[in-house]
Structure 1
């Protein structure tokens, strides 16, 4: 068949960009659930190699295997989106809640699409794929406006999605059929359209192409820590900055604020995170009858040495709000933390008596049951569970009717 592999500048451009929502692990030691997407990606690349004359070393596709971290990641994503020939969004409910996926869609659709042949079927450069069935899910406007039929990939694919075809052995032939037809569709769209390469746009400042999130899709991340000038003389300034949200407890190897890492994890889960100093959030958390949204508090136990500020955290702990999860990240590679572990544990016990005693609220103490989750990967796994617990509790709290307003009985007129 005629392949676009040798057509000028197209020969060095990936056929497709696979856009998907990262699925969180059940626990830090569980297998990575995104390996199923990686298998699909490899199968698509192999199928495209088989049906084209793409030479060895030709970039067949692009799939982001990172955790959406840092400026270099954002620049790489922007560069790939400015040059790929086809955009393949992997539909799932989680996908359309992901801000990062919405930004990928937005950046790709900033590019112009031209038909190679007059009168050909109108193509957008977007070839959606069903990861799971979306039959009972309302698609956002940009997806619902696409003129695309999934029926040609097979009835079982359209009813179940690729994930089910991969997981259920009896569907193996249907999976192979769906992958081959999806690969053929990608090649056809690449062959019949010209989507010029553009200058990469700024990923972080780009809007999401999807509809605005519901209030339950938001999560507020607050940090209880120090600014460098506030540190006690017994604590090194290495992990601190000008703001309390600059706290970097896992330095090294991580040299970025923990709140930024937490926000990335929340985005990958489909939430819209905001980051605050705890003091900015405390008044609302302590005064409101009901919370403004699910919240996660990241606690630096060294900051409990400031007894006045620690009292505010103690008051929040006593409220025992299900929609507020409290995490105590703990780097066991930090020599000062190890040397002062007993003292810091005792401080935490006096402040967080309710959270420490409740199994529904996760904590990253160094003496945690089942081991010492004192590294960044363990933190990410705990954060995923903390966000889900806070979000579920928030939905339950807001679903309850308002308590009745008791009025004093009137005594005549």
Structure 2
């Protein structure tokens, strides 16, 4: 089946749905804009109402190859529409969408020519000044756009006329730029292969580390359905939108405004000591040939403030048969290597994990703030001033 061509892709600082019936408010208004913008573009190009002219990530089906599907869409899109907001810049996912689209062009300046920024939610004018200036151009002559942002305008009937003007203006710019888009379209780099670090007011980054077998190294008797080519592909609960657990945790954290990175290789474990830390362990890792050795090595890299989660599925027949014993083995190995037992939590239920994850992330960040060492700036005077009562 031939990949359809899209006039535009709508990118925003979305909140990933944790359940199929979860519909965060911010996503609702982005979805409404997408529908109205698609209608305006379709009218301008004379497209049939049933013909999709745009795309955004809510249309990606929760399949195992959803990242590949998104790369295919970005490769077939003429114009990238970015709904800029504070959340856009402190979440890695929308930044990687943008980086993937820009990667299509050898000259970044050419890529910028097909990127349409929108002021979705205003932010402090001294942050991301270039992006802010570019986004403000869309609303020239409409003061409400600069003051409120397009999301607020979409929600308030008071600004409905101005909102419609901006949407029509955006649609016209999409169609104009799409007419000059290169044919054939350059291919986008896969989301997993681009790097885009989130920026936020907080300097704390949550590192999510994963210790789980890859499909090629599963122990005898373990079904391969929950595993992929790397440790970060581990998916113990199939009903969480088919998200790998590490991606799920990272998206919950980013939904809470917490910049996050995922590591699953021994060489990257030093990142655990550079901020808040959450370690996800599959008990079946202990059954691999070098599992206990890897556990001991991991334990030596886990900082005192880190939270350790042993994650299993109580409904998995293989857990009842052997997984519970492996859980005890993992916990004992970590404790022997110096990890306090009080820092180790076992989660065996998807509903329980979804319920507790926001508080677990918050506690992990709080533990870092309370426990992590404080480093003085380079060149700082280490001598603290004293009040002596003597005149200056």
TM range (shorter): 0.5 to 0.7
The superposition leaves residues 80-117 of structure 1 with CA deviations (integer Å, 9 ceiling, x where unpaired) of 334434321000122123444334334444458999xx
1:119 corresponds to which residue? Answer: none
- For 2:121, what is the secondary structure of its paired residue? coil
- For 2:347, what is the secondary structure of its paired residue? coil
Q: Check conservation: 2:63, 2:242, Cα contact below 8 A.
A: no
Q: Pick from 356, 368, 390 the counterpart of residue 364 of structure 2.
A: 390
2:190 corresponds to which residue? Answer: 203
Mapped to 1, the partners of 2:202 and 2:371 lie a distance apart of 13
CA drift of 1:300 comes to: 2.2
1:236 aligns with 2:222: yes
1:105 aligns with 2:98: yes
Give the TM-score of the pair, scaled to structure 2.
0.67
- For 1:86, what is the secondary structure of its paired residue? strand
2:36 corresponds to which residue? Answer: 43
Mapped to 2, the partners of 1:304 and 1:207 lie a distance apart of 32
Q: Pick from 11, 22, 44 the counterpart of residue 19 of structure 1.
A: 11
2:309 corresponds to which residue? Answer: 327
- For 2:314, what is the secondary structure of its paired residue? coil
CA drift of 1:175 comes to: 4.2
- For 1:157, what is the secondary structure of its paired residue? helix
1:161 aligns with 2:149: yes
CA separation of 1:201 and 1:128: change in aligned 2, threshold 3 A: closer
Larger radius of gyration: 1
Q: Pick from 257, 275, 298 the counterpart of residue 280 of structure 2.
A: 298
1:62 corresponds to which residue? Answer: 55
1:129 corresponds to which residue? Answer: 118
2:169 corresponds to which residue? Answer: 184
1:373 aligns with 2:355: no
The superposition leaves residues 205-250 of structure 1 with CA deviations (integer Å, 9 ceiling, x where unpaired) of 66457888899464433234457899777x5253568976665534
- For 2:116, what is the secondary structure of its paired residue? coil
CA drift of 1:279 comes to: 9.3
Q: Check conservation: 2:16, 2:251, Cα contact below 8 A.
A: no
Q: Check conservation: 1:105, 1:208, Cα contact below 8 A.
A: no
Pick which of 47-56 and 343-352 moved more: 343-352
Q: Pick from 139, 157, 174 the counterpart of residue 172 of structure 1.
A: 157
2:209 corresponds to which residue? Answer: 222
Mapped to 2, the partners of 1:97 and 1:135 lie a distance apart of 14
- For 1:146, what is the secondary structure of its paired residue? helix
Q: Check conservation: 2:10, 2:56, Cα contact below 8 A.
A: yes
Q: Pick from 211, 215, 236 the counterpart of residue 249 of structure 1.
A: 236
Q: Write the mapping of 1:302-313 to structure 2, written as runs, cut at 5 A.
A: 302-303=284-285
1:118 corresponds to which residue? Answer: none
Mapped to 1, the partners of 2:23 and 2:353 lie a distance apart of 16
CA drift of 1:258 comes to: 4.4
Give the TM-score of the pair, scaled to structure 1.
0.64
Structure 2 unpaired stretches of 5+: 384-392
CA drift of 1:18 comes to: 0.5
Q: Check conservation: 1:132, 1:161, Cα contact below 8 A.
A: yes
Q: Check conservation: 2:41, 2:172, Cα contact below 8 A.
A: yes
1:411 corresponds to which residue? Answer: none
The superposition leaves residues 363-394 of structure 1 with CA deviations (integer Å, 9 ceiling, x where unpaired) of 5523xxxxx426xxx75775565455434554
